[in-house]
Amino acid sequence: DEVYDFAAIQRKWQPVWEELRPFRSGDPADKRPRKYILDMFPYPSGDLHMGHAEAYALGDVIARYWRQQGFNVMHPIGWDSFGLPAENAAIKRGIDPRGWTYDNIDQQKRSMKLYAASFDWDRELHTSDPEYYKWNQWLFLQMYKKGLAYRKDSWVNWDPVDQTVLANEQVLPDGTSERSGAVVVKKKLTQWYLRITDYADRLLDDLNQLEGRWPSKVLSMQRNWIGRSIGADVEFEIEGRDERVTVFTTRPDTLWGATFMVVAPDSDLAAELAAGSTDAVQERFADYLAEVQKSTEMERQSTDRPKTGIDLGRVAINPVTGERMPVWAADYVLADYGHGAVMAVPAHDQRDLDFARAFDLPIRVVVDVNAPVTGVIPVIGLDENGDPILPDEPDPLDPARTGVALAGEGRLMNSGPLDGLSKANAIKKVVELLEADGRGRAARNYRLRDWLISRQRYWGTPIPIIHGADGTEHPVPEDQLPVLLPDAAGLDLKPKGTSPLGAADAWVNVPNPVDGSPARRDADTMDTFVDSSWYWLRFLNPNDDEKAFDPREAEKWAPVDQYVGGVTHAILHLLYARFITKVLFDLGYLSFTEPFTALLNQGMVQMDGSAMSKSKGNLVRLSDQLEQHGVDAVRLTMAFAGPPEDDIDWADVSPVGSAKFLARAWRVAKDVTSSPDVQWKTGDPALRRVTHRFLADAPGLIEAFKFNVVVARLMELVNATRKAIDSGPGPADAAVREAAEVTAMALNLFAPYTAEDMWARLGYPPSVALAQWRKADSTLLIEETVVAVVQVDGKVRDRLEISPTIAADQLEDLARASAAVQRAVGDRGIVNVVVRAPRIVSISTRG
């Protein structure tokens, strides 16, 4: 008797698909509706690993699902193949990054084909190909023309190990480099930036469109990253200086309580104010600045470290009180936020209060937060009228004494025309007063910084600018693109703070495009996040050498219907892709402003509760898993492990169990003895009901990403079919064939090899991936029902009509999904659910 042999099945079908190419999506005559399903493309740093295996298994369920629903699905793949890992590997081994990269791509591609992800290989791209990066350069030039790409001198994040600058996004919260792990320091350099801050409001506001379609965690990470603050700019005169200093504040209502000013020590303003002060101040300032330069931004913003700073010996004038205020430099004020200077209101801002208390600066309360005094005040005696005498207690809320700033809301006091107003009204009023006086205005501020794209490294896209000897900038004419990356041979790629390209004499020295005089190419390369910001558009026509992408194809396919990838890209990549989409919209190339309509973040594959790594010795090799259990068992395990958003612990799952189930399903198809032209209606009604219930339920479950539930239901279906073969109507019954065919179609989503082999045994030509999902026969869905009651905190909130044989967890899912129940639960959170299937679900909430 023939047994299930996954290796033989893989060997059999891979070449058949290679020949058939069932996943091509580029036929212009294809009239099916379209779906664009995109997996984040891999970085070719070695062979595929378990994380890839999870992501591509899940993305493929979605792509295969929509094909079976009658869509022309575009599911492309390519390689994000520029970047530091290749360069570092090349340096370590003394080889060319190009060779290393393309060897890895070959290996990953072979693995992906074995893994049977349903990619349209006609659309394959590599960002390190000149045919691709030419268009990075084109994009850069379009942005340059619009003033969206510019160069400036500024303090940048410097990775002392990789010897290159980093975008803010690449510096981890602990101040280390996301890439090398080194502590990031500040360095002043002239660098290229993309003006993403011009798009801050749109990047923020458009997130509302994605509500419910992107994970809420990602939406809030994006919102925090952009970090919009609403407030005012206020101008202060400085004695001995012509120009006023502007500060940004979210609390202009507290202006009467501003008692000193603080500037960022690493700002030009601080240097200038110090230079205009005494020699002693200048000396102390220089020492302090050197000290500050050593700390990270994270450290500087931390509230629980001792405040440091120096008095610059200069005087600012409070524009409303006319009071003279000292000007200090302190590192809790950041140079690149707002205007790099603050009006300090110690009574109402904790950092200002800590500073004022440390350096004995004045503190004035201007908001009566009117908090009730708690605690009992002891009576110390009675007066002549017999009334209690209270001790001369200090104000229990006095910030100078308690060290706690009064940040809450209240009525304004000690504030002249603002007295008695609420915070909101006071803000309105003071902004009016300042505007009338030309001393301020309403203003917004963002945490978001412009995107620094210059990298002093080799393996990236050359920046298409030529620098004249006189310091002028000249864009490379578009018809001279691409600016090819010179050969690595003969170049020293070792990090040294300047780009290796600067040493490629023949490449870097070019005539000035204007007058032919000697000039030099820009020797920096672009951040590789530029490459990945628009690759999803290049997939539309990856071989077009006339344009970056075809707007008509974009009209047909884009935006991406479903994007699948890791939450590690929640900020950087997604923000940049959203930004570039809006830029291309503004340039007239796109008709939409958001690139990814829906986003699924898969969890991570772990081992024994922690991330897998070579050093921990808990690395599970994908190639070993595929060899031991087969592709289908690994893929099925990924889908069955739990909700896709959750992490998978490989120690807790069972690819062996998956393989057993696949063998069981496969034997069902093998045992079928009827031919494809059976009359379905003659089949066993009980089995047919199970099959059609599955047909009816699976699509909704897949669209809600409940892949694991579908697999569980499929297991039930296979069990029911087995029973029908062995102890029911037997292998010739039409219902047995029907169930086996539906099983093959559904397994196509999770276990394509097994599904294809089943399909062939059932008498059909390849490919099951193109078979259309069958409609459930509604007459078979009617079954005896009972009513289950759902209670929330003891009150009946819903009644559900359900099958009397419903499983407890399924009933619980239904109860939790009920709108009435969700309303009753509100945002209190569920603490306990008791299910007595099929009659009662009792939910308890917090509070």
Instruction: Return d(Cα 788, Cα 796) in angstroms, integer.
Output: 10
Q: In the complex, what is the shortest distance from the CB of residue 750 to ligand ANZ, in angstroms, rounded to a whole number?
A: 47
Residue among 649, 205, 728 at smallest CA distance from 444? 205
User: Residue of minimal CB distance from ligand ANZ?
Assistant: 229
User: Two tokens at 379?
Assistant: 């009576």
The dihedrals phi and psi of 195, each to the nearest 5 degrees, come to -80, 65
Give dist(CA 827, CA 241) in Å, integer: 55
Report the nearest approach of ligand ANZ to the CB of residue 338 (Å): 3
Residue 725: alpha-carbon gap to chain centroid: 49
Smaller CB distance to ligand ANZ: residue 107 or 321? Answer: 321
> Least distance to ligand ANZ from the beta carbon of 649, Å?
39
In angstroms, the Cα distances linking 590 to 26, 593, 755 are: 20, 8, 39
Start-end of H helices in 791-844: 808-817, 819-825
Residues in touch with ligand ANZ (CB under 6 A): 229, 248-251, 254, 264, 333-334, 337-338, 340, 342-343, 345, 348-349, 445
Closest approach of Cβ 184 to ligand ANZ, in Å? 19
Q: Considering only CA atoms, which of 252, 229, 203 is closest in space to residue 444?
A: 229
Cβ neighbours, 10 Å, residue 492: 11
Q: Which helix (H) or strand (E) holds 624?
A: helix 622-629
Where helices occur in 122-263 by DSSP H, the ranges are 130-145, 200-205, 216-226
| CB of 445 vs ligand ANZ, minimal distance in Å | 5
- Count CB neighbours of 373 within 10 A: 10
516 Ramachandran zone, left/alpha/beta (phi>0; psi -120 to 50): left
> Do the Cβ atoms of 588 and 142 come closer than 8 Å?
no
Question: Strand 228-238 relative to strand 185-194: parallel, antiparallel, unpaired?
Answer: unpaired
Q: Closest distance between ligand ANZ and the C-beta of residue 168, in Å?
A: 14
Q: Is 573 helix (H, G, I), strand (E, B) or coil?
A: helix
**Token couple for 4:** 């299930």
Q: Binding residue per annotation — 616? A: no
440 residue type, one letter: G
Tell the smallest beta-carbon distance from residue 224 to ligand ANZ (Å).
Answer: 11
Q: One-letter amino acid identity for 554?
A: A
- The three-class DSSP label of residue 546 is coil
Q: Closer to ligand ANZ at the Cβ: 343 or 426?
A: 343
Tokens of 11: 């060997």
For ligand ANZ, which is the closer residue by CB, 345 or 412?
345
With contact defined as beta carbons under 8 Å apart, do 802 and 838 qualify?
Answer: yes
Tell me whether residue 244 or residue 664 sits nearer to ligand ANZ (CB atom). 244
Closer Cβ to ligand ANZ, 203 or 343, answer by number: 343
Phi-psi region of 750 (alpha: psi -120 to 50; beta: other; left: phi over 0): alpha
Please report how close the Cβ of residue 221 comes to ligand ANZ at its closest, in angstroms: 17
Nearer to ligand ANZ, 340 or 462 (CB): 340
Provide CB contacts within 8 A for 704, sequence distance 6+: none
Q: Which is nearer to ligand ANZ, 258 or 537 (CB)?
A: 258
Q: Kindly state the smallest distance separating residue 520's Cβ from ligand ANZ, in Å.
A: 36
Give the pair of three-digit tokens for residue 365. Answer: 């309360």
Residue type, 755: A
Whose Cβ is closer to ligand ANZ: residue 270's or residue 560's? 270
Nearer to ligand ANZ, 14 or 350 (CB): 350
Q: Which is nearer to ligand ANZ, 248 or 640 (CB)?
A: 248
DSSP letter for each residue of 110-135: HHHHHHT----GGG-EETTSHHHHHH
The distance of closest approach from Cβ of residue 250 to ligand ANZ in the complex, given in angstroms and rounded to an integer, is 4
Residues belonging to the binding site are: 614
Residues belonging to the binding site for ATP are: 614
